[in-house]
Amino acid sequence: MTEQRKRAGGRPRKGDGKRSSLTVRLAPATREFLDLEEAASGLPLTDLVERAVEAQMPRVAAPFTAAQVAALNQRQGDGRFHAFTCANRGDGAHAGEGLLVATTAGWVCPACAYTQGWAWAFQAEEPSR
């Protein structure tokens, strides 16, 4: 027996203002595990599923190559994916969304000392033409 769950969540994407929707079919054991996690963590089930999916997505670690930096910065502002933002962006000293900038040493924040040393692997690939 499986259970379907309609997801009307997802992070808001820049641009069209729409939210993504995804139907996930869960095995009973997985569903039971997630229900226990939901109860224990207090996080919505949709967040837990999103975290589980993200945990399985391949990453690349800094240092990034010049080609990776170019791809990362191109994708960072295109609105197709959730952009990486500074963890301190709410402190009043950050303009706009607090977008991070890719460098060969990793992501840096133009407004503070925040850094991030990884990116999703698909983001770092050269865009196909």
Sequence letter at residue 99:
L
What CA–CA distance (Å, rounded) separates 85 from 65?
Answer: 21
Site mask, Zn ion, residues 96-125, x = CB under 5 A?
-------------x-xx-x-----------
**Whose CA is closest to 110, among 94, 127, 126?**
94
Tell me how far apart the alpha carbons of residues 121 and 72 are, in angstroms, rounded to a whole number: 10
CB–CB of 72/64 below 8 Å? yes
CB-nearer residue toward Zn ion: 88 or 116:
88
Give the residue, chosen from 69, 72, 86, 99, that forms a contact with Zn ion under the rule CB under 5 A.
Answer: 86
Among residues 46, 88, 103, 116, the one that binds Zn ion under rule CB under 5 A: 88
Which residues on adjacent β-strands are paired with residue 116? 107
Cα distances (angstroms) measured from residue 83 to each of 12, 14, 30, 78, 109: 11, 9, 29, 9, 13
Nearer to Zn ion, 60 or 86 (CB): 86
Minimum distance of Zn ion from residue 76's CB (angstroms): 14
83 binds Zn ion (CB under 5 A): no
Q: Segment contacting Zn ion (CB under 5 A): 12-20, 59-67, 73-81, 87-95?
A: 87-95
Q: Which residues bind Zn ion (CB under 5 A)?
A: 86, 88, 109, 111-112, 114
